[in-house]
């Protein structure tokens, strides 16, 4: 019975609005030393193994690794004539988050992300995944931050948006003028998009969508990048027009200004210290009738006309991104 009461108290805490910016007590990380600095050299042929594992991506991985070992941000260490890089997991959560963003800034300044959205498949896709793998092997927090920004935020723009979104957002995403996150997961439904409780309604008088978090279980939860750095997010929400639910759609919403201040009608809380990946800032987001332009609907398969007519070539609600409950 005590165990049930304890779990009930924990769940109740999740359903209450935050009363402080610090939701969890900070616990120091465990002491960590990378094995490559303490273990002996392997006895097998590492070049043959690497050729098998990395294949045609080996040159890309070497290029990115060489960029990293040139910067003290990646803590390069010379051991036996070889250079190793490793993050310091003994830093505080705040230090790890700040260092992750400084590393992203360095990689951006080297031009690593230039032309991200212009690289043709399949070679472009292999390049992107090799980049994600390389930075993730160094520090998974860095891989998560870049993955959320480029693969989730950027991928939604690419595949769910159209030319108007590509023209407006691609370049600023590559330069990190815009820092994106991906607000699909919710406290009450996890990643079950049919169960999304966020509601967006269209106001034809102003040509705006109005995004609202109607209850605590509808809050966007565990959103990577939201706690500290993201300026914009992709919001997954039920779309209602004239009282009719037209299913789940995705919208672009600004959540912070250029100075990092949280936007009006948006509330953000920090998920706090985690057992790992503390360089990635997970957060919670609420929307209080946030107004966004009509053009911020990602409209690759469905759109809303200025006068409020719902337009879609998809008739089956189980197809595409339109999911009707």
Residue 251 has pLDDT above 90, yes or no: yes
Structure token digits, residue 86: 């490793």
Q: If you average pLDDT over every residue of the chain, what do you get?
A: 90
Q: What is the pLDDT of residues 69-100, one digit of tens each?
A: 999 999 999 988 889 998 988 899 999 999 99
Share of the chain above pLDDT 70, in %: 88
Assign residue 312 a region: left if phi > 0, alpha if psi is -120 to 50, beta otherwise?
beta
Q: Say what the pLDDT of residue 25 is.
A: 55
Q: What is the pLDDT of residues 274-317, one digit of tens each?
A: 999 999 999 999 999 999 999 999 999 999 999 999 998 777 65
Domains in the chain: boundaries? 29-162, 180-312
Over the range 73-101, which residues count as b (16 or more CB within 10 Å of their CB) and which as e?
Answer: bbbeeeeeeeeebbbebebebeebbebbb
Q: What is the pLDDT of residues 294-303, one digit of tens each?
A: 999 999 999 9
Residue 244 has pLDDT above 60, yes or no: yes
Residue 299's Cβ-side half-sphere holds a number of Cα atoms within 13 Å equal to 14
| Domain 180-312, CATH homologous superfamily name and number | Butyryl-CoA Dehydrogenase, subunit A, domain 2 (2.40.110.10)
Q: Say what the pLDDT of residue 253 is.
A: 98
Assign residue 320 a region: left if phi > 0, alpha if psi is -120 to 50, beta otherwise?
left
Q: Does an H or E element contain 51, and which?
A: helix 46-54
Residue 325: pLDDT band by 50, 70, 90 thresholds?
very low
Predicted structure pTM score: 0.84
Contact between residue 132 and residue 156 where contact means Cβ atoms under 8 Å apart? no
Residue 182 has pLDDT above 90, yes or no: yes
């Amino acid at each position: 019975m005590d165990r049930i009461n304890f779990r009930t108290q924990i769940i109740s805490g999740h359903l209450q609005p935050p009363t402080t910016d610090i939701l969890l007590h900070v616990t120091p990380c465990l002491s960590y030393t990378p094995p490559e600095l303490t273990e002996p050299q392997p006895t097998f042929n590492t070049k043959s193994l690497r050729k098998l594992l990395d294949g045609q991506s080996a040159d890309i991985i070497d290029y990115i690794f060489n960029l990293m070992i040139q910067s003290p941000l990646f803590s390069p260490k010379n051991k036996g004539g070889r250079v190793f890089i490793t993050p310091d997991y003994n830093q505080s959560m705040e230090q790890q988050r700040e260092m992750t963003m400084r590393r992203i800034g360095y990689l951006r300044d080297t031009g690593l992300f230039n032309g991200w959205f212009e690289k043709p498949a399949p070679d472009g896709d292999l390049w992107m995944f090799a980049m994600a793998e390389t930075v993730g092997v160094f520090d998974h927090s860095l891989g998560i931050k870049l993955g959320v920004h480029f693969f989730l935020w950027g991928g939604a723009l690419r595949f769910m948006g159209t030319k108007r979104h590509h023209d407006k957002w691609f370049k600023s995403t590559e330069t990190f003028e815009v820092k994106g996150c991906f607000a699909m997961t919710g406290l009450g439904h996890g990643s079950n998009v049919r169960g999304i409780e966020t509601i967006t309604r269209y106001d034809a008088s102003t040509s705006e969508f109005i995004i609202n978090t109607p209850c605590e279980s509808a809050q966007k939860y565990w959103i990577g990048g939201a706690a500290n750095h993201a300026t914009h997010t992709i919001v997954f929400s039920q779309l209602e027009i004239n009282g009719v639910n037209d299913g789940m759609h995705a919208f672009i919403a600004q959540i912070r200004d250029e100075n990092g201040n949280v936007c009006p009608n948006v509330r953000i809380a920090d998920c706090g210290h985690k057992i790992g990946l503390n360089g990635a800032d997970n957060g919670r987001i609420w929307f209080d009738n946030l107004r966004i332009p009509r053009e911020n609907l990602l409209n690759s398969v469905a759109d809303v006309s200025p006068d409020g007519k719902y337009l879609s070539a998809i008739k089956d609600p189980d197809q595409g991104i339109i999911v009707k409950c």
